[in-house]
Structure 1
Amino acid sequence: MTFVAVGKQEWWGYKPSKNLFVWINAKAWLSFGPVAVAIKMERITHYIQYVFIFLICFDANLWAFTPLARNIIHLEGVHNGTMILEGATYMWMPFDYMYNFKNWLLLEVFLVYLQCGAGVVIFCMDSMTFNIMFHMIGHLTILKHDIESQMWEDLPDSAVRQSLIDIHDYYVFIKSYFKTFESAYGINIGVIYLFNLMADSLIMYQLKFAEKENQMLYLLMALYFVISLVISSYAAEQIRNLSDNIFTTIYYCPWESLSVSNQKILLLILLQSQPLMDFKACGFSVGYRPMINIIKTTFSYYVMLKKTEEK
């Protein structure tokens, strides 16, 4: 693999080579090799998971250790009873945990357990969602490449017919997989959009007016939720654009050189590829436009909260 360079060597974890043969072969794979598309999608999903793991783990640790550090700094006031024990979350409990250290420690351990569990659930759902979306992008890219690389003028009718049947079956598989994914994970994408619509302005407000030692907590939260919004919007937009490109690619195929029976098969593929693969989450389309609207609404809410605080 080091010698023939399947795609970019960086995708496989190797350092780039200056060998001319390796460079030419890598370019050839990038231009003509569907395997390189799969490798690229796999590498992108790995990077996304690494970023999400870092943000969730680091933010969960900050939520756990920041109150502990503040209590240690103000240890004398806590002993004197002039300051309460600070925690990540304040809630009603049938026992005193604001001045009793053992009760506070018991509650904090339970809250850290809940935070870590919630973080794992959120990471698993988002990771699976984005993995499937990017692999669907890879499948559509490979299908588009297969259509563009066909040399139908130089093939007999039987070979052209088999090639068209393979393209048809592959597209039907992608479309059925897309519908299944939309029905299964549409709620998760909808929750991502709804949460960003409701919580981003509040997180920005906390970043503006919270104490300095707590700002990093909200910054990491904001990064995670905004990155999730951007990735889901980008992936949905790419799926829609690629499905439109596949329709255009089929439309401009050299159909006039095909036999009548093969032209009918090509027409069937054209009819099936005409509806765009528009991802809908909870009934609304996902993409750049709703993402931009959410960002605009977030800043509007933030300005309103800021003016209310100033008054």
Structure 2
Amino acid sequence: MDVFDSRYMKNIRFTLRSIGAWPSHVFEDLPTTKLSAISRYGYTCLLFTFCSTGMVAQAVYLVKNKGTMPFIDLGQTYLTLLMSFAFVQRTTMPIQPSYQALIKEFVSKFHLLHHKDKTDFSAKMFSKVNRMCEIGTIVELLQFGVSASMFNIAPLALNYSRGMLSSERPMNVTFEYSVYYALPVDQNTGVWYIVICMYNAYVSYNLGCMFLCHDLQISVFVFHIWGHMNIFEHNLNYFPRPRKAVGSKSDPLRYSNEESKEVTMGLKEIIKHYIMIKDFVAKTSDVYSVTLCVYYGLHLVADCVLLLECSTLEIDALAKYGLLTLVMYQQLIQVSVVFELISSKGESLPDAVYGLPWECMDNGNRRTVLILLQIVQQSLALKACGMVSVGLQTMLAILKTSFSYFLMLKTFANN
């Protein structure tokens, strides 16, 4: 069985390939040529160029119309500009060697498929994590399809209701767009309206994929880390105790010499497993460190802007931003809860290590258990910029701050 036989891995690979974010070349033994860099990163660089150009056009539009647009209407351009900034940051990830190495290590070594045959519990945990990943994939893809569609369909419906799509358009009425740009053309003509709408739909697909599919990929990593930690804890809880001699009525107080050798090998396997988990968590944290920082920073500002847009309670605003607001908040909560799995599971590991029958071991194995106990007491949480642990506490802090900023901006808008 191959890792890519599972549907969720196929979906992740397909969606990330469509935006140039899947490092296919690390799984292929192809000769390196002068054109290798173009074939590997050409589409990624193209997306980076498109989005950077769009950011400049949005920024120019914002500067030109800042004094004439209503305060709340400015939120739309602010929102798309912030999301474009986060998109640009994520487009650089496939070029990073550490990102490519992380994907390869996960697929070739860390995925629970490679460990499911070791014990019956490992097989059960593999099946459980697979179901979690399948459900998470379905939820993310549905969110992506619905939110990206509504973001572009709402302006189209508004233009239709105003008669802008008819042969005789009303006077002094301009087209409504999902994203506005400062362009050296007349954007109120039918031809340019079609061109800009197609570009916005294309950008919406890429941006939605870059956000939700990368979040899905991180979630899959976390689910497998959580599965490995459960297997590690199970191996500790069911570590073999000293065997009874034939006919003995009481449990032996110490391992025999032969059993001590088996204990040494068992502890060695447990430590190797934990080091593998810890090493993968560290690599994941390093790769996504800046991404998580930008991601939570985006939520801090964008969630506030989305609330401000929806607070008008106008049909047009709710149609365009209502579902997007729900998706953004749901995504923040979902990702934070997933990250919390690692932190909460890591808190129970020291107790499991201390529960080992160390009192029955010889001095050498006791020292090994003591070292293991010291290692597992170190935090395994993923960190943004290597400083802030991500999880429920981070989520609550962002939600509180976003609501505070929203109330403040709403007061300014009313005045």
Give the alignment partner of residue 128 of structure 2, picking from 11, 36, 40.
40
Taking structure 2 as the reference length, what is the TM-score of the superposition? 0.63
CA contact (8 A) 2:215 2:335 kept: no
2:329: which partner in 1? 226
Count the aligned residue pairs.
279
Cα distance in structure 1, aligned partners of 2:261 and 2:333: 45
Cα distance in structure 2, aligned partners of 1:271 and 1:80: 74
Question: Which residues in structure 2 correspond to 1:56-135 (within 5 Å)?
Answer: 56-75=144-163, 79-98=169-188, 100-135=189-224
- Give the stretch that moved more between structures: 200-209 or 257-266: 257-266
Deviation at 1:221, TM superposition (A): 2.0
Counterpart of 1:121 in structure 2: which amino acid? M
Structure 1 portions without partners, runs of 5+ = 1-31
CA contact (8 A) 2:151 2:321 kept: no
1:307: which partner in 2? 411
Change in Cα spacing, 1:73 to 1:232, as seen in structure 2 (3 Å) is closer
Change in Cα spacing, 1:66 to 1:233, as seen in structure 2 (3 Å) is closer
Deviation at 1:266, TM superposition (A): 1.5
- Deviations 1:187-239 (CA, angstroms, capped at 9, x unpaired): 22222211111111110111111521331432222233223322332233221
CA contact (8 A) 2:292 2:384 kept: yes
2:394: which partner in 1? 290
Structure 2 portions without partners, runs of 5+ = 1-119, 244-254
Give the alignment partner of residue 274 of structure 1, picking from 377, 388, 398.
377
Counterpart of 1:135 in structure 2: which amino acid? H
Cα distance in structure 2, aligned partners of 1:39 and 1:219: 36
CA contact (8 A) 2:155 2:176 kept: yes
Change in Cα spacing, 1:235 to 1:247, as seen in structure 2 (3 Å) is same
Change in Cα spacing, 1:63 to 1:228, as seen in structure 2 (3 Å) is closer
Cα distance in structure 2, aligned partners of 1:148 and 1:107: 60
- Deviations 1:236-269 (CA, angstroms, capped at 9, x unpaired): 3221222221112111322111122221221221
- Give the stretch that moved more between structures: 85-94 or 193-202: 85-94
Q: SS state of the match for residue 248, structure 1?
A: helix
- Give the stretch that moved more between structures: 234-243 or 298-307: 234-243
Taking structure 1 as the reference length, what is the TM-score of the superposition? 0.83
CA contact (8 A) 1:52 1:224 kept: no
- Deviations 1:252-308 (CA, angstroms, capped at 9, x unpaired): 322111122221221221222121213211121212222111111111111112222
**Percent of residue pairs identical:** 24
Cα distance in structure 2, aligned partners of 1:57 and 1:232: 18
Cα distance in structure 1, aligned partners of 2:190 and 2:143: 29
Q: SS state of the match for residue 33, structure 1?
A: helix
- Give the stretch that moved more between structures: 130-139 or 47-56: 47-56
